[in-house]
Amino acid sequence: MQKLLSYVRRAVDHYHMIEPGDHIAVGVSGGKDSLALLAALANLRKFYPKPFELTAITLEMGYDGMDFGPVQDFCDGLGVPYRRVPTQIKQIIFDIRKEPNPCSLCAKMRRGALHEAALAAGCKKVALGHHYDDVIETCLLSLFYEGRISCFQPVTYLDRKGITLIRPLLYTPEGYVRSIANRYALPVVHNPCPADGNTKRQEIKELLRQLERGNHGLRERIFGAIQRYPLRGWAPGRARDDT
C-alpha cells in the first residue's frame, strides 16, 4: 500500500489535484481500479497536508446479481460514506435501444449520472480510477481510430457542471493495481456487461503486449511523450488550466 500511496501522492502533487477543504466523490464501479483508488485516497487523507473529505458513489447499472454489500463493508472499514445510485442505463442501452456499439453511449450516460450524484452529495470534485495503462491506451485509441493525438487530462474542469475531475492513479501501472487488489482482497464486483472484454481498448491492450515483447520500455516512452509533447494539461508541475 505504501508504494500505491507514493504513486498517488506524486500524481496529486504534480497536477495540483487536491486543495484544502475539498469534498471528493470517488466513482466506485466495483472494479479493481476504483477500489484501489478509494483505498489510496482514504489512506492519503490521514496525513496529506491539505485536509479533504471523501464520499464513495456507485452507479447501479441495472444488471441482476451484482452484490455491492461487500463494497459497503469496505467503505465502512475505511470510514468513507457510501452512496448507491440506481439507474436504468442497462435497460436503456441493451433492452430498449439495443445498441450494437454500446460503449460510447454507456460512458456518456454514466458520466452524467455520476456528476449529478456527486453534486447531490455536496462534492465539487470527482476522482476517477484511470491508471497509467489507461493513459497510454487512450492515446493510441485516439491516434489509431480518430486520427488525432489526444488523451483525457489529469485534471479536467467541467464549467457547465462546476465539477473538477481528477485522476490520481495516472502514475500507477495496471499490473500494480491488480497486485494490490489481490494482496488486500479488495471486494471486486464482477462486471456482467456483455461488451466487457470485447472492445477496441482490449485490442489495443493486446497490441501493446505484442509490441513490448521486442521493445522493452515502450509504455514508458509513450507516457513520457504525452508529458513532453505536451498534450493539453499534461505538463507536470504547472497550475491547472481550467479554460
Over residues 27-49, the mean pLDDT reads 95
Phi, psi values for residue 56, rounded to 5°? -90, 135
Largest CA distance in the chain: 49
Q: Considering the chain, what percentage of its residues have pLDDT values greater than 90? A: 68
pLDDT in tens, 79-110: 999 999 988 887 888 878 777 777 778 888 88
Residue found under cell 501501472: 173
What's the rounded Cα separation, in Å, for the pair 78 and 38? 9
Share of residues in the chain with pLDDT > 70 (%): 96
Report the run of H or E that residue 146 belongs to, with start and end: helix 132-146
- In the chain, the domains with their CATH numbers are 2-228 (3.40.50.620)
112 DSSP 8-state letter: H
Give me the residue label for grid cell 522493452: 216
Q: Which amino acid is at 195?
A: A
> Burial, 71: exposed, middle or buried (Cβ in 10 Å; 0-12, 13-18, 19+)?
buried
Alpha helices of 64-102 — where are they, by DSSP H? Answer: 69-78, 89-90
The predicted model scores a pTM of 0.90
pLDDT in tens, 105-159: 888 888 999 999 999 999 999 999 999 999 999 999 999 989 998 999 999 999 9
Q: 162: alpha, beta or left, given left = phi > 0 and alpha = psi -120 to 50?
A: left
Task: Point out which residues pair with 163 in neighbouring strands.
Answer: 158
